[in-house]
Amino acid sequence: MKVDSLLKVLLPREDKFFVYFKNDVSNLLEAARVCKELMSNSISQGERVQKIRKIDELEHKGDVITHQILSDLGSTFITPFDREDIHTLATKLDDILDYIQEAATRIILYRVENISNEQEQLSIMIYESVDELHKAIPSLRDLKNVESIRECLVKIHSIENEADDLYERAIADLFDHCKDPIRLIKTKELLDSLETATDQCEDAANVIESIIVKNA
């Protein structure tokens, strides 16, 4: 048995990281929920502004949690799983929230008044993917339900594939029918932010799969 593996058996691990990740993904789920509500034409402009401010608050909270994870990672002797995986998972969760905030910010900067059906659908897909992460990550504490975790990961991969298809169709339609170059650029960049958020969800799922392979 390797020395580091032996130490993990003999010494108590730091479970604070599970608390951090649980708080982080709960915060992310709330941001995804607000984003889903934001990407709707059924709310007023005033409500839209409030939701964008809420996403900004949640993004700041997520940054604080991420900083805490990375700071403690450097000073903790025994971690529950590989340091690289902890670092990468924390970073990926932060990236998802960053792209959610980016999409929200672009609505203000570009003075977007009408949300397209594709933008709304992508926001729903982001929420669904984050919800699966929210189910999977707390189960990493004991890894007793590996199959249920993997079911969540499969759903995330499936959602990401659907998001890719939707994004490609939306971009093709945009170039076919939008004659205003400024509007085309604004619409495409908002779609880019939303689709990239789904990519980051898949990346987070890949990190979780790596943790399972190494520790289950």
**pTM of the complete model:** 0.92
Does position 1 have pLDDT exceeding 50, yes or no?
no
43 versus 1: which is more confidently predicted?
Answer: 43
In the chain, domain spans: 13-215
Distance CA 158, CA 204 (A): 14
Within 13 Å, how many C-alpha atoms sit on residue 168's CB side?
A: 6
Distance CA 64, CA 68 (A): 6
Does position 6 have pLDDT exceeding 90, yes or no?
no
- Tokens found for residue 154: 């499969």
Measuring CA to CA, which residue among 198, 191, 192 is closest to residue 163? Answer: 198
The band of 76, judged by pLDDT with boundaries at 50, 70 and 90, is confident
Contacts of 32 (CB under 8 A, 6+ apart): 96, 100, 123, 126, 127, 130, 131
User: Domain spanning 13-215: which CATH class is it, in words?
Assistant: mainly alpha
Contact status, residue 73 vs residue 88, Cβ threshold 8 Å: no
Distance CA 121, CA 146 (A): 30
Residue 76 CA from chain centroid, whole number: 25
Give burial (CB, 10 Å; 0-12/13-18/19+) of 164.
Answer: middle
For residues 122-145, give the mean pLDDT: 95
The band of 13, judged by pLDDT with boundaries at 50, 70 and 90, is low
